[in-house]
Structures are given as C-alpha cells and as structure tokens.
Amino acid sequence: NITPAWQVIGGYTQQKATIKNGKDVAQDGSSSLPYTPEHAFTLWSQYQATDDISVGAGARYIGSMHKGSDGAVGTPAFTEGYWVADAKLGYRINRNLDFQLNVYNLFDTDYVASINKSGYRYHPGEPRTFLLTANMHF
C-alpha cells in the first residue's frame, strides 16, 4: 500500500522456455517452446476515494508467442504481443449492499489471445466488456 487508501499491485514473469533435446518445434526454426510468451506483465492500482466510493485501473501485457512448426504454410509464425487496460468503479450503498462496475479491455483493443496448431484458427481477445456486480452482505 502506498497510503491506507491507495493500493498498487504488479507482477512480471519472464520465461525462456526452450527445447533442449529433439527437433525444434517453433515454426520460425528456433528452439522456443511454442504458445509460451517470454514476457508477461500486470499492474493494478485501486484508490478508496471515500468510505463509499473506490476506483481502480490496470494494464496487462502478454508477449508474442511462437507457433508450432507443424502449422500450415503461409500462416504467421507467431502471435503479436498485446496490452489490455481494465478499470473499475465501486459504490457502497450501505453496510449490506454495494455495487461494482468493471470494464475489461477499456480501449477495445484487438488482439489474438491464442492460435491453434495449424495457424488457421485463432481465438480473438475479448472485446470491451462490462460487468456489473451487486454484493449483498448478511
């Protein structure tokens, strides 16, 4: 916590996953392990503005991922890395009821979340999404 009302949470992962023995399996001929990003990063900050109102925002990054060597000819050798931003607003009505609105992919970023072995099918990242939650406390 930076202050009692302000939290910042972050994380970073670096993976250098490679094939040590056997044939290279990445489409670009490298020994990189396919479908595994080398870098991933997340940062989230939340601020309790008043006793009843909280706001938060954050960003997520997933680095590029190599595709397998058994993919179809002419398809991309890797997926591009991407950044996605999220935000939230919380409001407490009383001690028994609060609401929270989350916005995922705040800027409606287009990205490839995953790709299949052949490279012809991919899973696009989720578009901007809203989630409203009501919490009742008994």
Residues of the domain holding 117: 6-15+23-136
> Is 96 part of any domain?
yes
pLDDT digit string, tens, across residues 6-50? 999 999 999 887 777 766 566 666 667 777 888 999 999 999 999
> Is 74 part of any domain?
yes
- 65-66 and 78-79: which strand pairing? antiparallel
Strands laid side by side in the 97-104 sheet: 6-14, 39-48, 53-62, 82-94, 97-104, 129-136
pLDDT digit string, tens, across residues 14-23? 988 777 776 6
Total of domains in the chain: 1
- Total-model pTM: 0.81
Determine if residue 39 is left, alpha or beta; phi over 0 gives left, psi from -120 to 50 gives alpha, anything else beta.
beta
> Is 71 part of any domain?
yes
> Is 1 part of any domain?
no
> Is 91 part of any domain?
yes
Q: Find out whether 101 and 59 touch, Cβ atoms under 8 Å.
A: no
